[in-house]
Amino acid sequence: MEFEFDVKMTTAALYDYNMYHTYTSTSGIIGSVAGAIFLVLFAAYMQPYYLIAGVVILLYTPITLYVNSSKQVKLNPMFKNPIHYKMDDEGVTVSSGDEELKVEWDKMIKAQSTNQSILLYTGKKSAWVFPKKDIGEHRYELIEAISTHMPPEKVRIKQ
pLDDT at 9: 95
Domain boundaries defined on the chain: 3-8+81-156, 13-75
pLDDT at 148: 94
pLDDT at 31: 95
* Mean pLDDT calculated for residue range 108-123: 95
Mode of pairing for the β-strands spanning 155-156 and 110-113 = parallel
Determine the Cα–Cα distance for residues 94 and 85; give it in Å rounded to an integer.
5
* Mean pLDDT calculated for residue range 60-86: 95
Which of 54, 27, 52 has the alpha carbon at shortest distance from 40? 54
pLDDT at 33: 97
* Mean pLDDT calculated for residue range 110-123: 95
pLDDT band at 138 (very low <50, low <70, confident <90, very high): confident
| Fold classified for 3-8+81-156 | PH-domain like (2.30.29)
User: Is the predicted pLDDT of residue 159 greater than 80, yes or no?
Assistant: no
- DSSP label of 24: T
* Mean pLDDT calculated for residue range 54-80: 95
Q: What is the CB-side half-sphere exposure of residue 143 using CA atoms within 13 A? A: 15
User: Is the predicted pLDDT of residue 126 greater than 80, yes or no?
Assistant: yes
